[in-house]
C-alpha cells in the first residue's frame, strides 16, 4: 500500500488517466503569466528581506509599521491610519502594535483633546533599529535588481505604480466586483 501511495504522490494525474477521464486544458493568458511571475518574484524578494530582519526579531509587518511611523514624524498616527497604510493587510493591527510596544519600539498615548484617539509613535529605540536596517536593505534591493538596467527599472516602477493606482481607486469597476464578492463571502460566513 505504501508503494501505491508514493506513486500517486509522484504522479497525481495517473489516477485520472487510468479512469479514462482527461483533465481539461486550462487556458493560460498573458495576464495570468504576469500574475504568477509577480507572485513568484514577490516571494523571492521578501525572503531576502526577511533574512535581514531576522537578527532584529522583526516580521515584515512589524518592520512596515516602524517605517510608517518614522514617516509620520513626531505627531504619530492613530491605529486605523497605521492599518490603512500597511503594505499587506493585517487583521489584528492592535495585537501587532501591542508586540512592538512591549519591545519598546513604539509608544501609544491617548490624546488630550480627543480621548477617543490613541496616537502611535515610534520610539528612539525603534528609530535606532530602522537606522541599522537602512543600509543593508538598500544593498539587498540594489542586488535584487542589479540585472535590470536603470531605464527599464524606471519603466517597471511606473507600470507597477499605474496598475496599483487603478486598483486602489474606489471607482475601478474590477475593484468594485472584487469588493462585492468579498462582501458576499463575508455575509455567507455569517449566515453559516
pLDDT in tens, 19-30: 455 556 666 789
CATH assignment of the domain containing 76: 1.10.10.10
Residue 116, H or E segment = none
What pLDDT band is residue 111 in, cutting at 50, 70 and 90? confident
Asked whether residue 81 is assigned to any structural domain, the reply reads yes
Asked whether residue 178 is assigned to any structural domain, the reply reads no
Question: In 3-state terms, what secondary structure has residue 113?
Answer: coil
Residue 77, H or E segment = strand 77-78
Q: What is the pLDDT of residue 178?
A: 45
- Containing domain of residue 83, as a range? 55-144
How many folded domains does the chain comprise?
1
> Is 100 a residue whose pLDDT tops 90?
yes
pLDDT averaged over every residue in the chain: 80
pTM of the model: 0.69
Amino acid at each position: 500500500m505504501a508503494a501505491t501511495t508514493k506513486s500517486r504522490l509522484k504522479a497525481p494525474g495517473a489516477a485520472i488517466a487510468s479512469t479514462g477521464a482527461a483533465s481539461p486544458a486550462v487556458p493560460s493568458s498573458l495576464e495570468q503569466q504576469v500574475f504568477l511571475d509577480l507572485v513568484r518574484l514577490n516571494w523571492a524578494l521578501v525572503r531576502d528581506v526577511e533574512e535581514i530582519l531576522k537578527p532584529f526579531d522583526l516580521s515584515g509587518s512589524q518592520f512596515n509599521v516602524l517605517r510608517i511611523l518614522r514617516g509620520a514624524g513626531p505627531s504619530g498616527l492613530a491605529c486605523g491610519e497605521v492599518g490603512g497604510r500597511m503594505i499587506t493587510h493585517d487583521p489584528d493591527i492592535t495585537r501587532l502594535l501591542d508586540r512592538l510596544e512591549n519591545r519598546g519600539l513604539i509608544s501609544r498615548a491617548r490624546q488630550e483633546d480627543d480621548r477617543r484617539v490613541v496616537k502611535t509613535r515610534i520610539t528612539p529605540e525603534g528609530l535606532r533599529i530602522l537606522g541599522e536596517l537602512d543600509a543593508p536593505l538598500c544593498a539587498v534591493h540594489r542586488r535584487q535588481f542589479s540585472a535590470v538596467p536603470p531605464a527599464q527599472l524606471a519603466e517597471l516602477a511606473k507600470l507597477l505604480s499605474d496598475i496599483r493606482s487603478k486598483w486602489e481607486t474606489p471607482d475601478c469597476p474590477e475593484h468594485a466586483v472584487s469588493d462585492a464578492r468579498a462582501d458576499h463571502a463575508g455575509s455567507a460566513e455569517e449566515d453559516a
